[in-house]
Structure 1
Amino acid sequence: MAGRRFRSWLSVRSVAGQVFVLQLVIVLLLGAAATTALVLQVRHDATDEARGRSVAVAEAFANSPGIVQALHSPNPTKALQPRAEAARKKSGLDFVVVVTPQGIRLTHPKPDRIGKHFIGNIGPPLRGHTITESRPGTLGPAMQAVAPIFNGHHKVVGLVGAGITIQKVSGLANRQLPLLVGAVSASLVLATGGTALVSRRLRRQTRGLDPVEMTRMYEHHDAVLHSVREGVLIVGGDGRLVLANDEASRLLDLPPRPEGRLVDDLDLEPHVADVLASGRDVTDEVLVAGDRLLAINNRLTDRDGGPPGSVATLRDSTELRALSGRADVAQKRLKLLYDASVEIGTTLDVARTAQELAQVAVDRFADFVTVDLAEPVARGDEPLAVGGVEMRREAVHGIRPGQGHPFYPVGRVFSFVPTSPQAFGLSGGEPVVEDDLTEATGWQAQDPEQTAKVIEYGVRSLVTVPLRARGCCWAWSVSGG
C-alpha cells in the first residue's frame, strides 16, 4: 500500500513526479561533476605538493654543509650515498641523486645504478637554475627536481636530483578518495531526500495534476477572466489583492501590477475599499467609484474548506445613469425652448424683446448676456449694410442683478472695430467663440480700457451670436462667463 502511494506521487505524469525526476538527475549529475572535479583537484594538489617537496629537498641537499668537499673527495659516492639515503627516507621521496656536471650518478637508492648517466634535463641546472620535470626514470615515471651545487666561487660543481614516482603521487591522492566519495554520497542522499520532500509538497499544492491538465485549467481560467464583462477581484485573508481581471482594473482605475498589495494601499474610494477589505457578504450594493456607479457582490471563499479571503464581482451601472442623464439634458432643453417661446416676444417692442432674450439666457446659457441692435433697427427701420453700422446696447443682464457690471450700459451707441469677434460674426453670419479673453487681442482692440475692466471683473470667455431675421443680420447677442 505504501509502495503504491509512493509510486503514485512520483508518477512522471504529474508535475511533482517530473520535478522529482528532473531534480534527481540534476543532483546525480552535480554529484558526478563534483566528484570528478574534487578528484582532479586532489591529484593536482598532490602533484603540486610533490613538486614543491622535491624542489625543497633538492635545494636543501645541494646547499647542505660539506657537500662540495664530498664531491672533491677521493670517493664521493662513499661520502654522499649515506647522506642522500638519509635525506630520501626522512623526506619521504623515492630518490635523492647526486650527479656530476657530466651527468654521472654518484648516489642512487639502487646501488647498481650508480656510475650511470642521470635521466633528466641537466642543461638549465648546469647554468645555475633549478628545474622540475616529469619524465620516465629508472624507478618508473616520476616528478623530479634538479638543483645545482655551487662552490665558493658560485660555480656549478655538481647537481642534486630529488623526486617521487607518479605511482606514489597517485597513491597519495587515492588515499583521500574514500573520504571524498563518502562525503559526496552523503550529499547525494540528503539532496535526494530533500528533493523527495519538495516534490511531495508540490504534489499537494498542484493536487496531483499533470502539466496538460494544469495548462488546460489555466487557459480556461484566463479566458473566463478576460472575457467576462464584470470585474473580478480576489482578496486574500491578509487583506492583499490576489487577482484582478482587466475589467476590474478598468472600473477601479487600479495601478499597474496591483497583485500582492494591500487593498488599503490601492487608492480606492473609501467605501469600496471597506467592502473589499471587510470580507462581509454584499449583494448588488451600488457604490460610487470615481465617475462610475458600481454594483458590487462580495462572498467569502473559506466556507467549504477553501483558502481564507473573499471574491468580489463588479458591474458597471454607469450606462443606466448616462441614459437617465441624457434624458435630463433633453428635458432641460425642452424646458428652455418652452420658456423661450413663452417669455420672449410677448410684445412687438424690439427693446423689450431684447431684454426678454437676455433674461432667458442668463444662468441657463451664460453668466452675462448683452444684446446689441443695429441703430436703424432700434429706430424701427430696416437694417443698413453691415460694414460700419452703429450698434445700440439694448439689454444687459447677469447673474448678479443690482450689483453692477463691467459692460457698456443700455443705450450706449458704438461701432465694432473690424478685428473684434462681433465684427467677424456679423459679416459672416456665424457664431464666434473666444475661449480666453486674456489672449483675445482682436476683442481687446474694441476698447482696451473697458475690456480690461471686463477681464478684471472675472469674465473669461465670450460667445457672440448674430440675430437674423428675413435673411439678414439685424441684431447682435453677446454672452460671456
Structure 2
Amino acid sequence: MAQRPSRPRRPWSLAGQLLVLLLVMVAVLVGAGVLLAYREAARASEDAAREESTAVAVAVARMPDVQQALRSDDPTRRLQPLAERVRTDTGVDFITIMAPDGTRYTHPNPEQIGGTFLGHRGPALRGQIFTETYTGTLGPSIRAVVPVHHGDEIVGLVSVGITVEAVTAELNERLGPLLMLAGAVLAVGIAGSWLVSSRLKKQTRGVGPAELARMFSYYEAILHAVREGLILVDADGRVGLCNDGARALLGLPETPPEGTPVAELGLPDPLADALTSTRPRSDEIHVTDDRVLVVNTSQVRSGDRPMGNVVTLRDHTELEALTGELNTVRGFAESLRSQAHEAANRLHTVVSLVELGRTEEAVRFATAELEIAQQLTDRVVGAVAEPVLAALLLGKLAEANERGIELVLEEGAAVDDSLIGDHGIAPRDAVTVLGNLVDNAMDAAVQGGRTPPRVRVDLRGEGGELFMRVSDNGAGVLDTEMVFRRGWSTKSAPGHGLGLALVGQVVRRYRGSVDVRNDSSGGAVFTVRLPAGVRS
C-alpha cells in the first residue's frame, strides 16, 4: 500500500515566533529581576545583621555593670545572667564577653565558658570596632567585636553575633512575597505577549516572516516594473508609496517622495485635490505641464476608519495628441464634405441655367464662385507658409462657412515655415493651440447670439516668436484666471473643458505667454506667444 506523501510542514507564523520570543524575554527578565532582588535582599539582610550586632555590642560594652564585673574576681557570675538577658531581649544569637586574651566569661552554651574565643581580636585590642563573618562554636555567624575601656585601658572585649542560618531564614521569609510578585509580573507579561501576538497575527494574517519578505520583494518588483503610476496617500494627505511610473508621469525627482505632503509636490491644484479627495474618482483627465493623465482614486478603509487613497495614473498624452489629430482630420473631412456639397449645389445651378438657355449667366455664376474660393485659398496659403497650419485654417474656414460664421484672417497675417519644424515649434503643438482657440471662439460666437457670428484670426512671426490672436464677438469670458484649468468650459454638455487646458500646457512647455481679455464689444480675445526653439 503506497504511503501518502507527507504535507510540508508550514513554518511558524510571524505572530507565533514573536509570541515565543516575547515569552522568553519576559521569563529571562523576570528571572533576572528575581535573582537581582534576591541578591539585594541578601546583602540588605547581612548589612542589617552587622548593624544590629554592632549596636548591641557597643551598648553592652558601655554598660557600667560590665566594666565593673570585668575588674571583679568572678566576672562570669555577674556577666553571664546579664548577657543572656540582653541576648533574649535583642534577639541576637550570642553575646560573648571575654578577657583581652580571649578567655570567655559568657556564652549561650555554659560549657564553652572559660574557653578561648574563636575569631579575630586584633583590631579590637587596638581600640577599633569591626565586624566579620566567622565560623565559631555556633557555626558561621556575622559578628561584631567591640573593646571595653576603663580609662585608657582595654579591660575586655564584647562579641555579639547573628548566625548565617538565622539571616538565611529571615531572607527566606522575604522570598515568598518576592516570588509571588515575580509570578504576577510573569503572568502580566505572558498576557501582554499573547495580546501583541494576537494583534500581529490578525494584521499579518498568520503569514511567516520568510513569506512576508518574499511577498514584499515580489510586490516591490511589480510596483517598480509597471509603467502605470501608483501612489498611496495616507489619511493625512502624505505620500505613503510612489512607484517609478508615478514619479515619471508626475515629473517628480528621483528622491522618493514618501512622507511628503501631496500639497508640497508642486502638482496642479486640481490634480493634488484629486489625489487626496475622499470621493472616488474614475477616469478623470488632468493636465500637467507636459502630460495628460487619466486619474483613478479609491479610498481604503479599515473597518469604519479611512486609511487613505490608492491612486492610479495612466499616460493619456499620446492618445490625446492622436485624438486631436483625428479631430483635425475629421474637420478636414467635414470641410471636404461641405465643399463637395456646395460644389454640387453650384454645379446643379450652372446646369439648370444652361438648360434654361442662360449660358452667359451660368458662366458668370461659375466664374464668380471659383474666384471667391480661389482668392480665399490664395490668401491663406500666401499668408501661412507652413502647410499644416494652412490646411487647418482652410478646414476651419469651410467649417465656419457651413455653420454660418464669418471667419476672418487679419490683414498682414504672415507666418513663414522657419518658426515651425524640428528646430522650432512642433507642428502638432501649433495645431493644438490654434485649433482649440478657433474652435472655442466659433462656439462662443454662435452662443453669443450676434449676427453674424464673427471670429478673427491673426498669425504672425515676430522676433523668433509665433504670435497667435483669436477673438470672437460672443459673450466674453467671466473668469480669465480659470479658463486654462482642466474642466473649465462654457458648454454644459459633458466631455468638454480639456482644449484650453492643453493650450495652457503647450504654452508652459515653450515658456511662452498667454493673455485673455474681453474687448470693448464684449467678446473674448486670446493672445498666445510661443518662442521658437525654447521647448522644455
| TM category, shorter | 0.5 to 0.7
* Residue identity matched to 1:183: L
Counterpart selection for 1:364 from 450, 464, 481: 464
Q: Residue in 2 aligned with 1:76?
A: 75
Q: Residue in 2 aligned with 1:56?
A: 55
Counterpart selection for 2:237 from 211, 236, 239: 239
Q: Residue in 2 aligned with 1:392?
A: none
Q: Distance in 2 between matches of 1:70 and 1:32?
A: 54
Q: Secondary structure at the match of 1:129?
A: coil
Q: 1:65: how far off?
A: 2.6
Q: Distance in 2 between matches of 1:296 and 1:48?
A: 80
Q: Secondary structure at the match of 2:139?
A: coil
Matched-pair contact (CA < 8 Å) for 2:229–2:312: yes
Q: Secondary structure at the match of 1:41?
A: helix
1:262-283 residue CA offsets vs partner (Å, 9 max, x unmatched): 4335553312211111133434
Q: 1:205: how far off?
A: 0.5
Q: Distance in 2 between matches of 1:329 and 1:190?
A: 84
Residue pairs, 1:296-307, within 5 angstroms: 296-302=294-300
Q: 1:16: how far off?
A: 1.1
Q: Structure 2 vs 1, CA of residues 68 and 261 (structure 1 numbering), >3 Å: closer, same or farther? A: same
Q: Structure 2 vs 1, CA of residues 292 and 87 (structure 1 numbering), >3 Å: closer, same or farther? A: farther
Answer yes or no: is 1:175 the counterpart of 2:160: no
Q: Distance in 1 between matches of 2:321 and 2:158?
A: 106
Q: Distance in 1 between matches of 2:321 and 2:148?
A: 108
Equivalenced residues, count: 330
Q: Residue in 2 aligned with 1:310?
A: 309
Q: 1:58: how far off?
A: 1.2
Q: Residue in 2 aligned with 1:132?
A: 131
User: What percent of counterpart residues are identical?
Assistant: 42
Q: Structure 2 vs 1, CA of residues 361 and 17 (structure 1 numbering), >3 Å: closer, same or farther? A: closer
Q: Structure 2 vs 1, CA of residues 217 and 334 (structure 1 numbering), >3 Å: closer, same or farther? A: farther
Q: Residue in 1 aligned with 2:224?
A: 226
Q: Residue in 1 aligned with 2:373?
A: none
1:73-129 residue CA offsets vs partner (Å, 9 max, x unmatched): 121111211221122122211011111111111111111111110011101110011
Gaps of 5+ in 2: 1-9, 325-384, 390-414, 421-459, 466-536
Matched-pair contact (CA < 8 Å) for 2:98–2:105: yes
Answer yes or no: is 1:335 the counterpart of 2:334: no
Matched-pair contact (CA < 8 Å) for 2:34–2:179: yes
Q: Distance in 2 between matches of 1:134 and 1:162?
A: 12
1:47-81 residue CA offsets vs partner (Å, 9 max, x unmatched): 11111111111122112233222210121111211
Q: Residue in 2 aligned with 1:33?
A: 32
Answer yes or no: is 1:200 the counterpart of 2:300: no
Q: Structure 2 vs 1, CA of residues 255 and 156 (structure 1 numbering), >3 Å: closer, same or farther? A: farther
Q: Residue in 2 aligned with 1:209?
A: 207
Matched-pair contact (CA < 8 Å) for 1:282–1:296: no
Q: 1:305: how far off?
A: 7.5
* Residue identity matched to 1:166: V
Q: Distance in 1 between matches of 2:419 and 2:260?
A: 53
Q: Secondary structure at the match of 2:108?
A: coil
Matched-pair contact (CA < 8 Å) for 1:12–1:21: no
Matched-pair contact (CA < 8 Å) for 2:119–2:134: yes
Q: Distance in 2 between matches of 1:300 and 1:76?
A: 102
Q: Structure 2 vs 1, CA of residues 304 and 36 (structure 1 numbering), >3 Å: closer, same or farther? A: closer
Gaps of 5+ in 1: 1-10, 339-359, 366-481
Q: Structure 2 vs 1, CA of residues 56 and 220 (structure 1 numbering), >3 Å: closer, same or farther? A: same
Q: Structure 2 vs 1, CA of residues 305 and 149 (structure 1 numbering), >3 Å: closer, same or farther? A: closer
Q: Distance in 2 between matches of 1:285 and 1:182?
A: 66
Q: Residue in 2 aligned with 1:22?
A: 21
Q: 1:315: how far off?
A: 3.8
Matched-pair contact (CA < 8 Å) for 1:241–1:262: yes
Q: Structure 2 vs 1, CA of residues 90 and 247 (structure 1 numbering), >3 Å: closer, same or farther? A: farther
Q: Distance in 2 between matches of 1:55 and 1:31?
A: 36
Q: Distance in 1 between matches of 2:36 and 2:19?
A: 25
Q: 1:213: how far off?
A: 2.1
Q: Secondary structure at the match of 1:160?
A: strand
Q: Structure 2 vs 1, CA of residues 205 and 337 (structure 1 numbering), >3 Å: closer, same or farther? A: closer
The TM-score normalised by the length of structure 2 is 0.56
Q: Residue in 1 aligned with 2:109?
A: 110
Q: Structure 2 vs 1, CA of residues 329 and 263 (structure 1 numbering), >3 Å: closer, same or farther? A: farther
Q: Distance in 2 between matches of 1:335 and 1:76?
A: 137
Matched-pair contact (CA < 8 Å) for 2:419–2:461: no
Q: Residue in 1 aligned with 2:46?
A: 47
Matched-pair contact (CA < 8 Å) for 2:57–2:159: yes
Q: 1:301: how far off?
A: 4.0
Q: Distance in 2 between matches of 1:141 and 1:235?
A: 74
Q: Residue in 1 aligned with 2:483?
A: none
Q: Residue in 1 aligned with 2:263?
A: 264
Q: 1:304: how far off?
A: 11
* Residue identity matched to 1:108: H
Q: 1:171: how far off?
A: 0.3
* Residue identity matched to 1:243: L
Q: Secondary structure at the match of 1:175?
A: helix
Q: 1:33: how far off?
A: 1.7
Matched-pair contact (CA < 8 Å) for 2:230–2:310: yes
Matched-pair contact (CA < 8 Å) for 1:255–1:266: no
Matched-pair contact (CA < 8 Å) for 1:298–1:310: no
* Residue identity matched to 1:146: V
Q: Residue in 2 aligned with 1:161?
A: 159
Matched-pair contact (CA < 8 Å) for 1:292–1:316: no
Matched-pair contact (CA < 8 Å) for 2:69–2:78: yes
Q: Distance in 2 between matches of 1:294 and 1:172?
A: 84
Q: Structure 2 vs 1, CA of residues 106 and 288 (structure 1 numbering), >3 Å: closer, same or farther? A: same
Q: Distance in 2 between matches of 1:46 and 1:166?
A: 10
Q: Distance in 1 between matches of 2:103 and 2:121?
A: 11
Matched-pair contact (CA < 8 Å) for 1:99–1:107: yes
Q: 1:314: how far off?
A: 2.6
Q: Structure 2 vs 1, CA of residues 311 and 329 (structure 1 numbering), >3 Å: closer, same or farther? A: farther
* Residue identity matched to 1:33: A
- Root-mean-square deviation (CA, aligned residues, Å) is 3.4
1:295-323 residue CA offsets vs partner (Å, 9 max, x unmatched): 13223144998965321123456678999
Q: Distance in 1 between matches of 2:387 and 2:124?
A: 113
Q: Distance in 1 between matches of 2:25 and 2:386?
A: 72
Matched-pair contact (CA < 8 Å) for 2:252–2:265: no
The TM-score normalised by the length of structure 1 is 0.62
Q: 1:148: how far off?
A: 1.1
Q: Secondary structure at the match of 2:156?
A: strand
Q: 1:193: how far off?
A: 1.3
